[in-house]
Structure 1
Amino acid sequence: MKIEFSPFPNSKHDPFLVTSPKTAHYNCIAWAFGDDTKWYWPDSAKYYFWPTEIPREEKIESFIELFKLIGYKVCENEDLEPEYLKVAIYSDEFGKPTHAARQLNNGYWTSKLGQHFDVTHTIFSMKDGSYGNVAIFLKKRI
């Protein structure tokens, strides 16, 4: 189902499709990581899941380290490369991580919107939205 989601103003111009029912069982970081069983976040209260070997800090570097655990490395762009899986990590204007998305094999991206639903979208449809913009791309060989 195509929607226009007000926190993402470009969603009215580019694909933004709901692909799951609402759930609070997992978040965008877990979804991009490939886990739909828990909420990932490096909160200091240790309420959410975060690997013990990675600093529990809300910094891009911590999120890069998370994805390195499963073979990702930093890459240059969002271009579809059929032999790779890609992840985009978003941040706000202050550089604080806010969101992650995973690239699908058709070049579109999939995201979990907080406690809401999963969506399929383009990088442009999320641009300048409530999660800010992509801070870094990562990829791993399939």
Structure 2
Amino acid sequence: MGDDMPHGAVYRGCAIHRFQSEDRIRQIVIPAIDAVSAMEDPDELFAYLTDVYRPPEARLLAKRKLLDPADEARAAGRKAMVDVALVRAWAAGLDSLRWASPQFYGTDLTPGLPPGSPPLPARPAEHAEALRAAQKLSS
């Protein structure tokens, strides 16, 4: 097994991660992917990518929508309109089984939250246990 986060479905070209309920996928993840799909503004996409409360799948789509034009610009000899390294840094671990957090939907590489911030959306125990088991198998 590689380091890619296992997925069970693909929606709008986005792999839907396992270790979450069908209700969460239907009520949170799919609408988030739809919202990012409609975004065009790089500042809006970057804000979405850096919002650790958002689903990883939608944040990865924001990354792709930021980096695809940057890659095209660089291939054509033009300057990228985004800081490619910064975009990659914010997306680090979002599609990694190794770095997936059993405690919340996101990565253990997530920077600490400021004091007084609401907690990140918790991953239910049954999904956390399944994620830990998959991480153990892959190591």
Same structural fold, with TM-score higher than 0.5 when normalized by the shorter chain: no
For Structure 1 versus Structure 2, the TM-score category normalised by the shorter chain is under 0.3
Length-normalised TM-score, structure 2: 0.27
Length-normalised TM-score, structure 1: 0.27
More strand by share: 1
More helix by share: 2
Higher relative contact order (CA 8 A, sep 6+): 1
